Amino acid sequence: MVYYKLVFGIAFLPIIMIMYQLTPRTKRWGVLLIANIIFYSTFSLRRIVYPVAACGIAYLTGLLLEYLQGKKNKKAGRIVLTCGICALLFVLLHVKYTDFFFDNIRALFHLEEKGFFAPRNYLLPLGISFYTMQAIGYLADVYWKKTGAQKNPARLLCYLLFFPTVMEGPIAPYSQMKESLFGGASITAEGVMAGYLRLGWGVMKKLVIADRIAPAVAYLFDEQRLASGFGVVLAAVLFTVMEYMDFSGCMDMVCGIASIFGIELPENFKQPFLAKNASEFWRRWHISLGVWFKTYIFYPVSMSSMARKWRKFSKKKVSAHTSNMVLSAMALLPVWLCNGLWHGPKWTYVFYGIYYFVVILAELCLEPVGDAMLGRLHLQKESRAVAAVRMLKTWIIILIGELLFEAPSLQAGFTMLGSLFTKSSALLPIADGSLGIDGRDWAIVLAGLLVVLVVNLMRERGRNVTGEILRMPLAFRWTLALVLVCVILIFGLYGPGYQEVDLIYAGF
């Protein structure tokens, strides 16, 4: 069961809403826990043991950390925190990365696929990366005294297994979620309307736009006939659009579902393609992942003894800019290595992380040079012309990154990039259905993208689109909702004979 299925929207979710509303306020989180278990069980009942085990590790470690804080034993607390995080990571690494490590060991030493290094072919538990990161964040926050340890393991499981976030996030800190998750706020008519509108908006982005592009993306990235010339540009653009519509659409769905129960989740997207450099792009794209890496990797490394020693050493040895560059590299390298590996056990993902590490470090390094150049040309950094050029440069960086990210292998990705300069760039006959989609599909995609662009521009200007809709007359709101339903029913891709496209980030 997934969020865009009809059975979810008209059966599962309404039943949970009714049960939730009929339950006493202080017990409503229990209804959510039941909903979490049922939702997770529709994918695999046996694999629920993994999030339960993660909950057990986090629960016991959190209690022990709080006990040691009372004893003011910092050294023991650090050891316990390290052991708890290592236990959580061990399960994640073992299930998700064992075959990746073994594949590389076999390739390096020319071993056969048998014995200890034989492939394990583990089936990944749903959401293992997301609930593991939330559990690690919870332990770190208890250690830093940002939140108290949860005394009820069922409540902690409710947080880790929360059904809107368990598939693709967002990665919500426990300290931010606990009050609304366990507060038992009543469901309101306005909340239901707002939640279902956003759910429908997300379903439209997924079924009408992302899934319609999917056949063309699969065709262009097929290892047997990799795109070349202009096809490479088309492949990069289409995959980037598909990924954004799929992932941001899912985030609209989960935020809409959670808001029905009065639970506010952190936004995961903020018009990322309006960014003017790679750093800003990642502050707008998969925001909760970036915040997690910044909080639990970047800042700890920046404040580590190694960083302090470098500051002391470099104070009188090198310029402030050089010192800051070394510190940035020191903290950014583990962030981007983890970012690449987080996406999955593939060298394309690892390279993707290193790619952004190099790009962002280069931007930081060259920023004074660029500012000086703009000064000599008497141009303002935020002028429309300069902003447009910077935005175009960022799009090129994004498209290259996404091309290498989706390529079947690193070699295939570099081959595709190289073909831009060595192969013919003749336009492809994209409207004749040879890419798996025809002229009608392209028209629907372009119309949908135009609507999404208008809404995003409104949001970029600070307008609360959902709030404005809710303030409109009731007849208009219902008309808009019915139009959205009709668009999904008429133009959405689903039903018999349709090859369902899985949510992209559910695999990460």
Whole-number pLDDT of residue 424: 64
What does the alpha-carbon distance between residue 3 and residue 204 come to, in Å, rounded to a whole number? 12
Helix, strand, coil fractions of the chain, as percent rounded to 5: 75, 0, 25
Given a cut of 90, is residue 128 above it in pLDDT? yes
Given a cut of 90, is residue 289 above it in pLDDT? yes
Helix (H, G, I), strand (E, B), or coil: what is residue 438?
A: strand
Query: If you average pLDDT over residues 295-323, what whole number do you get?
Result: 90
E strands, 113-187, are: none
The percent of residues above 90 in pLDDT, for the chain, comes to: 80
Of 87-101, 109-123, 232-246, which gets the smallest average pLDDT?
Answer: 109-123
Q: Helix 128-143 vs helix 153-160: angle between axes, to the nearest 10 degrees? A: 130
Q: Look at the chain and count its residues.
A: 508
Q: Which amino acid is present at 286?
A: H
User: Cβ of 258: how many Cβ atoms within 10 Å?
Assistant: 24
Whole-number pLDDT of residue 428: 63
What does the alpha-carbon distance between residue 36 and residue 12 come to, in Å, rounded to a whole number? 11
The pTM for the full model equals: 0.95
What does the alpha-carbon distance between residue 395 and residue 350 come to, in Å, rounded to a whole number? 21
Question: Is residue 241 within 8 Å of 217, Cβ to Cβ?
Answer: no
Question: Is residue 505 within 8 Å of 247, Cβ to Cβ?
Answer: yes
Question: Is residue 82 within 8 Å of 67, Cβ to Cβ?
Answer: no
For residue 428, give both structure tokens.
């492809």
Of 29-43, 327-341, 484-498, which gets the smallest average pLDDT?
Answer: 484-498
Q: Which residues, including other chains, have CB under 8 Å from residue 212's CB and lie 6 or more apart?
A: 437, 441, 444, 445, 493
What does the alpha-carbon distance between residue 206 and residue 142 come to, in Å, rounded to a whole number? 37
| pLDDT tens digits, 239-277 | 999 999 999 999 999 999 999 999 999 999 999 999 999
Tokens 């809709």: give the residue: 469
DSSP string, 243-267: HHHHHHHHHHHHHHHHHHTT-PPPP
Q: What is the mean pLDDT of the chain?
A: 93
- pLDDT level of residue 426 (50, 70, 90 thresholds): low
Tokens 């989609």: give the residue: 437
Whole-number pLDDT of residue 6: 92
| pLDDT tens digits, 395-406 | 999 999 999 999
Q: Which residues, including other chains, have CB under 8 Å from residue 443's CB and lie 6 or more apart?
A: none
Burial of 446 (0-12, 13-18, 19+ CB in 10 A): exposed
Listed by start position, the domains of the chain span 6-186, 192-491
Query: If you average pLDDT over residues 353-365, what whole number do you get?
Result: 96
